[in-house]
A and B are shown apart, each in its own frame.
Chain A
Amino acid sequence: KAGVTQTPRYLIKTRGQQVTLSCSPISGHRSVSWYQQTPGQGLQFLFEYFSETQRNKGNFPGRFSGRQFSNSRSEMNVSTLELGDSALYLCASSRDQGQFFGPGTRLTVL
């Protein structure tokens, strides 16, 4: 069974731009969560989607948003990028217990 895939793997943007990251969960998994990982803050929860609805949300500004499609694929969007948004963005999918993470998208904001 294929694992969680994320695209793109690497991305470079400049301040003020917006970015969209994509996540394809493991087949049959309906829950998709997004995390931000930075050296200073560690792994921080962004939001979780289940059946196209946001089920939980972390403490991030409104510039961070997401959505989930009927096939469970998910996207997250960050608008008006700031230097501090440079991070590894991880997506994880789950069905019952346990979450399975993708390789992440490394975003660099210049």
Chain B
Amino acid sequence: AQTVTQSQPEMSVQEAETVTLSCTYDTSESDYYLFWYKQPPSRQMILVIRQEAYKQQNATENRFSVNFQKAAKSFSLKISDSQLGDAAMYFCAYRSARGVLNNDMRFGAGTRLTVKP
């Protein structure tokens, strides 16, 4: 079964600086999707960014970008110009692209990000 590992339970960053959150995953599949979700104290799960494994180009969404290393099975999230509103739990997630397995999204344990003013 696929597993997702986030090795940093907590991270902190100074406002306006850059922080990188790590994620690694284990899979034998070649076609899959990776996501980063943000969960603020309100408990909502908010999609931050997504990456298709067949794409070599790293995804970017405004201040958020990923470093996708397929061979290393690594999918890190970089947050540039950090803002106070970025403080949240961040979850990395894996989703197979194959058939019925596509319905099964595997999440990491999360990284709690604190932003210091």
B is bound to A: no
Chain A residues with CB under 8 Å of chain B are none
